[in-house]
Chains A and B, each alone.
Chain A
Amino acid sequence: MNPVSFLAQMVRIAIPYLFAATGGVVAERSGIISLELEGLMLVGAFSATIGTHYSGSPWIGVLCGILGGLIFGLVHALATIRYRADQVVVGIAINLLAIGVTRFFLKLAFASSSNSPRINGFGGRAAAHGFDNPLLWMGLLAAPVLAFFLYRTPFGLRVRAVGEHPGAAASVGVSVNKIRYIAVAVSGMLAALGGVFLALDQHQFTDQMTSGRGFIAVAAVIFGRWDPVKAGLACLFFAAAETLQIQLQGNHVIPSQFIEMIPYALTIIALAGLVGRAVAPAALGKAVE
């Protein structure tokens, strides 16, 4: 096994997780459950494909992806904050909605039910191992940047306060719902970037291409105990497991089905055993009037 190619592959696999998990952390720290990461990623991937396809520029694709995530994030925020709908149900609904919406527009735009035509991406020089992709660097920086905002700025302090004890925040004149709207919107854009990376990296959109990555990101949020940096490390851990799985594919000693289980089995073991009792933000899932 070549360590450089292992590392490069691991990072590439980790980037979508990193974006989505940091998005999950910011929303959940503000008190809104983020089960919708999967759907947000899918929307991000599709919007980026559309943008890139019609403009030819992956940067336009990035902007479209962010916009798509923002819109879906705001739908989520509206339903859970304004209308105080059950956050788990809305999260699942957003995931299903994203599958339907992307499939519909895939058919409409490209007359295909499986995939889009090939689109441009970033970088691509073989020698760079993918490290010439600006999105990859953004993904690696997402967690530390979020950690800075969360722990070192007034806004971050308010996000943490709102997620733990909205009543206390409100009693000192902090607008709980405003903070939550912003957090969920940011979460939508971040998670969408995870999808954008996927689409640009694979140079196309395929139906349901996120295939459960959003849920791995949710697991990473919990595994990382709602801390951006720890969640980021959890993403790298899951990505390492997946890389291992891919690199072991060729060997015929272990049945491939078992190897394919590695990332998911590790996820379950990690969440059940290693985390111990993870303490979620106290007000997670609770709407305020």
Chain B
Amino acid sequence: MTASSVPTGNPAIRMTGIEKAFGSVRANRGASLEVQQGEIHALVGENGAGKSTLMKILGGLQPPDAGTMEVNGKDVTGWSTSDAIRAGIGVVHQHFMLVPTLTVAENIVLGMEPVKGGRFDYRKAVDEVKTLSHNTGLEVSPDRKVADLSVGEAQRVEILKTLFRGAKILVLDEPTAVLSPPEVRDLWTVLRGLRDAGGTIILITHRLDEVIDISDTITVMRAGQTVTRLKTTETTPSEIAKAMVGRDVALTSRDEAGILTTPAHGGAIGQPPRDDEASAINVTNLCVLGSRKTIEVDGVSFSIRAGEILGIAGVEGNGQTELIEALAGLRRIESGSVRIDGKDVTFRNVGERRTAGLSHIPEDRHRRGLILDYSVADNLVLGLQADFVDKGLLDTDRINANAEAQIKAFDIRPPVAGMPARNLSGGNQQKVVVAREMGGAFTVLLASQPTRGVDVGAIEFIHSRLREARAAGKAILLVSAELNEVLALADRVAVMYRGKFVAVVPASEASEESLGEYMTGTRKESAA
């Protein structure tokens, strides 16, 4: 990256009065953004605040309905993707835009392939990628297929892809959601290096610790508008949170440096559950195969007592998904046993496990949690439909009454029972799932990534629900990619690495650093 010829003081990006509507939803309502060249700029806001839309407009994926945008002082309003790429804007999307069947080098040069005599010069592509990789410190193996990469590597490929196209302004959309703490540190090093070489970086995130850690300046968006612009050195997490939500948000001391949670409603963090309570779920020597017939859960044993939250930390892809699916009855158990409330449910199907008292908030609400085209009311009785039958027919009155009650209890917005789940924001979709799984009777709850991709307000709400459930004597297994979330909610923390519990520690004794070492396999210890 070379310093641009723009005179200092002239921003690299200036977007003003940006309007963008999708149907009746106004995603951007006069949003503005000003980013100086050579800074790391955090763009923060709740889900649905319009951050991604604003960045799509900047990247040329969508034209704005109104407003102007300048890049390096030139008016570029409504340009196309290729215009944006040519002008040096590189977007690293939240969902990787990589072709899994192609190699790293092929992905990076796609669309700008080096050619020799009409043929694609693959060796040259590899060499160019190697040079770029060396110069930026983004380590990749050019010849490997993208499908075989870890998420951290895939992300490096994404960044290289934009740099290969000469990007001088890099937009990263929630880049750390999939990374382990050491990978996050590496990413920060790379981003600082790019900035120091004159690059401009816009980071979309809703994790306040990252904002404080890495950014120079901050723009906060709320409901499609830009609410404030802050200098990182002159602000605090609570000030940013307040600007994001529009009201005071209670931050626990732990969350000062992390994601948001409210203080515990029941029991202090790390307080061991009383000994006289029998375990609500008991898992012994569980082995589960993954979709490729590899062992993904390798002899895991644990039990959770009533009124206890066991948190599972770990980099994604270390067997957490398979473990939860096996417990929920969605994946075959090869060996070992699962007992709920003393009853052996190892060979029981999903419905029978539910009857036994199991509830499940799945990690992917779109894939397993909801039927997006069904109404909120119908989604709220999915799996419970047998309880809403009258003379063999669905009892719509009771389904609707149930919906009204749940919408109220779980603050689902907009409060319209008949609205398709698709039209709800991510946070409210998740509330529908949570309402269904936690609104009825249950003894054991599997909560898998319960706050993934939901906004601050909904995180706060779901966390307090989980704490209430614990106080009410439920046993909860919490899996989260957010280490802070696990630390804030769990009584005990288990770290999963390559299908095994490599450590089980009381949350009060756990720290991000020590867990981080277990998560990456640098430290090992047999499960306590």
Contacts and interface: CB of A to CB of B under 8 A. Distances in A.
A174 B96 CA distance: 16
B61 to A, nearest CB: 8
Interface of A: 152-154, 156-158, 160-161, 164-165, 167-174, 282
Contacts of A153: 118-120
A153 B117 CA distance: 10
A225 to B, nearest CB: 12
B113 A154 contact: yes
Contact of A160 (B91, B93, B101): B101
B100 A173 contact: no
B113 A168 contact: no
B81 A165 contact: no
Residue among B91, B102, B161 with max Cβ neighbours from chain A (10 Å): B102
Residue among B93, B97, B111, B120 with max Cβ neighbours from chain A (10 Å): B111
A154 B110 CA distance: 8
Interface in B83-116: 85, 91, 93, 96-102, 106-107, 110-113, 115
Nearest to A171: B97
A99 to B, nearest CB: 36
A154 B115 contact: yes
B170 to A, nearest CB: 14
B101 A168 contact: no
Contact of B111 (A156, A165, A174, A282): A174
A16 to B, nearest CB: 29
Contacts of B82: 173
A158 B111 CA distance: 7
Contacts of B161: 172
Contacts, number: 61
14 contacts: A152-B119, A158-B111, A161-B110, A164-B99, A165-B98, A168-B97, A168-B98, A168-B99, A169-B110, A171-B91, A171-B97, A172-B85, A173-B82, A174-B111
Nearest to A172: B111
A-B CB proximity, top 10 nearest: A154-B113, A168-B97, A172-B111, A173-B82, A171-B97, A165-B99, A174-B111, A161-B99, A164-B99, A154-B120
Contacts of A160: 99, 101-102
B494 to A, nearest CB: 34
A168 B120 contact: no
Nearest to A154: B113
B452 interface: no
Contacts of A157: 102, 106, 110, 113, 120
A172 B85 CA distance: 8
Contacts of A165: 97-100
A147 to B, nearest CB: 13
Contacts of B99: 160-161, 164-165, 168-169
B165 interface: yes
Contact of A173 (B81, B102, B118): B81
